[in-house]
Amino acid sequence: DVSTGLHRQNSKLAMARAFLVQAFSMEELVDLYHQITTEVFYDVQDYEAGLGVTTERNNDIRYFAVDNRLYPLGGSYYADYNYHRGQTTGIFHAPTGLSGLDLDDYISTLYQTQRGVDGPIILRTADEYEQEYLNDIVRQQSGAAADASEMIQMVDIDYNHQDAFFDTMVARTYVGYGSSSLGLPGDASQPAPHFYMYGTPGSYLEPGIPMPGAMMNHMVLANWYELPCELNQDGEKIDDDCNDPTIGSANTQVKILKYYSGATLSGTVELDGIGPVPNARLLIERDAFSGEEVADDTTGMVTDRDPRTYWIPIGTTDADENGMFEFTVPAGKIKVTAFFGEPNLEQARSTMMTGTYSMTEILTEENEDSRELNPVTGILGNVSGSTWLTEEIVNISAFDGHSNGEEVIEISLSVESAQATGQLVWASIEEYDGTAITGSTVELVPQWDEIDISPYYASTSDGEVSGEELSFNGIGEVEFTGQGTVQTTSISTITDFTGNYTQEIKHNHTLVGEGLFEGQGSLSGTINFNSDEDSQIAECGDNDTMPENLSFCELSSGDLLIDGSVNATGRFTSNGSTEFTQRLSHSSLVGSGIFETDTSEELDHYGTINGTGKFSGDGIFSGPMVQAGTFHLRDMIPGIYSVTAILDDGTRVELDDSFAVPSAINQIQKIDIQGSLISGKLINSSGEVVDGYAALLDDSSEFEDATDDCADSGHAPCRMYPNEMGDYGVGPLPPGNYSVAIDVDQDGFFEIIEEFPFDSEIYANVLVPSPIPEMFDLGFDMINEGSNVPDLNVSLSKADGDSMPVSAIYSAEEGEYQIELTPGEWIVEYALSDSKQVWEEFEVSSDVSMQFEFVTSVEVTGTVYYEENSSALFNPDDGKVIGADTVISFAWEGFSTTAITNESGQFTVTLPEGAVVDATVEGLIAGLVNGTKFTVSTGMEDIVMVATPGTNVFGLVSVSRANNFYSSDFIGWQQLTVTAQNENYDVKWRKSVDNLGKFQMILPDGEWTFEIVDTDIAYSPVTKYIDSENFSVEMILSPPNGTLSLDMFMDNTGDLNSSNGTPVSYDFEIVPSSQ
């Protein structure tokens, strides 16, 4: 009954909670609660004293507990019984219902139902199941269902958690997270509630373990920790029956969280000896086995006495641009881990979905060099995929944990600086692939745009790198200019070296020298004592053994027995492996070992070492380990960086590849720049080399800017000059937009202009079209009322539509428009106003001057209707207008244009007065067609076109024989136009033939004649009756036969000239391409 006092009280509490959460931030709520619990006191009866004796109390309620009977495990009641043992919902429904909440919002209950033995399993709610059950009873009693097995039955009951359940304090206390907390797909699931269980069967969280109180920094686990057994002065257990706590012995039935107002953890993240690490992300974890400890009275240190470790993430915060951060932490052992870079939670989710992940790394107290972060902690803390930098552990006392942030705990995280080496190379054709890019600069910035730091810069080398604190592995040479070390792995050449040389003396091997012997063996020589050392040498013990606490003694033979570190001179025979270190000064030798410079004496250089090994320090490094194109970065923050290459001409190339800067020394990382190539032949149609050049341009350059030879500069703008064969080219070129312009006669009009956009993901090897086309100069006037109209943007187009329009230039000096065109038919169209236009077609075959006169044009309007019944009488009042965006084609005297209908089927087009126009419309979807002929005149009526059903004609144009399609693969291919004419219509239909030799048009049924216009190739017109059964047409072009001459010779001089070669005979045959 929701009207009871309990429900009313719970409603008040729910409303108060909703108000507080909306009205106050978490920090304000913590402050408010701290004031209530520390400033408000009252007296109550002291139950441990006599009647009337009181004691002081406050309003502090610090604990929240969930026991195993309250927690719902879910699952299928029968199928998963071994998992939940009957505790599918626990008693979770009780507090849920008493709080006025709907249990279905947190746990859904579905019945697995089935009819018959083999019937499908269907999930139904309880109400649906009950209704189906009653329906089956009615059918059975009425005789409609004779088979009793068809009665619906319940097979199992599924109790499934909902996403909202994992936001409740019950779930966050008991398991800490669920699949919805991690963003995993599929049905809601949970990790194992206890150590000895597993997660939701068959789910991604089946191998997951609980993290009670995860991502809560004020409410943390309080009942897992317990102290180890007490020991006496001898380190033995006082109570023999006492067992030290283990992870599995933690109380997992009842889980209790304790509230802490918290201490302020204030810290910095710094790159060791360099400066702050800006915008680092800090993962804060608490050891669930830590508790309330007291600071030592003398040292002030807080020590966690529970030896077990179980890290639970309690929060995440970001450092500012100065590497500073603050976070409120509870009492206990706290680990702060610094990460750098953009998280990649999807990768962590993918790992979990494979089911192969492990979470046992949370049982490791600390990590030194790296951490294999488990995906659950990584996702909850939003750090998965970021680079681990370092970590620090601090213990917070109980007093500090209850200080409401007044107690400030300082912590400093020091990150060891990293260095990395890369090589910038071309990714291109075989000739250039892997070629080093020298003289460039590499710019690195963190991939995550949330990080604000200045870019790192490094220059690519030409095979030599100099600097401080550098490090390389491999074959090479170093000339030390300061502190440095080489650890060789093979015999090396050492020249003029000053420093310490350490080498290994193997077992039973002998070495003569002066220096430090570290190991065991015998010495025929003397000990080099310091002035303040006792020079007495004790005799060895029985059987020539070493006396206690000594590192050398005299054998009965007079030699010395060595066991330890001894500075000596003489002949040493090793017993086992011994290291011998001697100081060298300006020494040269051949050997292997460890060479460390001694910079106590100031020198210009401290020696040169050439060999194979690990080279580090200050100096000049060269050799294969420092290949051309390499760059070296030091004093960096480990992480993943985006790379931009700044080439020697200033071109910036943003690369798709990332660059990883690891904490440890790594091998050279190659960075590829896609290098594209451009080539061509500067020849005329006769194959002769043309005097001139091809200009390579980029987005920011003009033709006049190309002055340098590309062979010298290697980048745009530049000139590509041909060789004696006419070949030219340039490359590799970095990604970008390029164009090649050729103006042989330098008249400002390009014979060839080609654009080449090069992608950053893959290189290209492109050819500029050749030969150079024959061009003619055209000068023309645009006449209006007897005068030339200057400064118009006039473009001319090929009549066959086979190329892009070409723009003319108005020359004020000559008083005419000028342009350079290829031979053939051209069209000039230009609208001076709504009523004045130029529409003319002309032929270019030589240099020529022309005049084009503006004529009066008329705006023609009309409406396109349709009638799907060809025999019906059209009535415009029926309102059957064609749909929007229907194309109407207009053709006259070799010109054509189009118009588009609006939603009312209307169109508008401007046409020259007096033109006799064929207008056609084809509805490809409905197969409707109409053709209308009209003469353009001023004041003409609207055009009415009625589209009726037609037949879709599929046409082919072949060469010489059927199915040999006239495609663009043919040399000299030009686009053709096919016309169709019927004596019952005064309109010609026109369609262009595509580059596959195909055309398509819709025609009314009837006999049609198909012809090809404007072609010099012989053909035969085709006449055919078109209807629904006859809709294909093939036209055959019959070009004249040609003569092919073949010269076969040995090209002795490599100039492709048969007159310089030796003629040969060789059997061959010409086979049709169709075979």
pLDDT at 1: 58
Give pLDDT, residue 2: 62
The conformation of residue 461, written as its DSSP 8-state character, comes to P
CA–CA distance, 667 with 659 (Å, rounded to integer): 12
Amino acid at 353: M
The burial of 883, by beta-carbon neighbours within 10 Å (0-12 exposed, 13-18 middle, 19 or more buried), is given as middle
CA 883 to chain centre: 44
d(CA 82, CA 678) in angstroms, rounded, equals 71
Distances (CA, A) of 861 to 135, 559, 885, 905: 68, 122, 15, 11
Structure token digits, residue 211: 């993290």
Sign of the alpha-carbon dihedral angle for 230, 233, 239, 244: positive
pLDDT tens profile 139-166: 888 777 767 778 888 999 999 999 999 9
Q: Nearest CA to 362 among 202, 230, 509, 176?
A: 176
What is the dihedral sign for C-alpha 372, 377, 383, 384?
positive
Write out residues in the chain with pLDDT < 70, as ranges. 1-3, 146, 665-666, 801-802, 924-926, 1073-1075
Give the contacts of 453 (CB within 8 A, at least 6 positions apart). 278, 279, 445, 446, 637
pLDDT digits (tens, 9 = 90+) for 413-437: 999 888 888 889 999 998 899 899 9
> For residue range 753-802, what is the model confidence (pLDDT) as tens digits?
899 999 888 999 999 998 988 889 999 999 998 899 999 999 998 877 66
Cα 1006 from chain centroid (whole Å): 60
Residues 6+ apart with CB under 8 A from 561: 522, 523, 540, 544, 546, 552, 553, 554, 555
pLDDT of residue 1075: 54
Please give the backbone phi and psi of residue 1060, each rounded to the nearest 5 degrees, phi first: -95, 0
Query: What is the model's pLDDT at position 599?
Result: 92
Domains contained in the chain, CATH given:
5-61 (no CATH), 65-182 (no CATH), 219-227+246-416 (2.60.40.10), 507-530+550-576 (no CATH), 675-767 (2.60.40.1120), 776-853 (2.60.40.1120), 856-949 (2.60.40.10), 953-1075 (2.60.40.1120)
pTM equals 0.70
For residue 865, the number of C-alpha atoms closer than 13 Å in the C-beta half-sphere is: 16
Q: Is the four-CA dihedral 498, 504, 509, 514 of positive or negative sign?
A: positive
Position 924 scores a pLDDT of 63
DSSP E strands in 578-638: the ranges are 578-591, 594-597, 608-622, 630-636
Of the candidates 187, 174, 215, the one whose C-alpha atom is nearest the C-alpha of residue 87 is 174
Query: Rounded to the nearest 10 degrees, how much is the dihedral formed by the CA atoms of 72, 76, 77, 81?
Result: -90
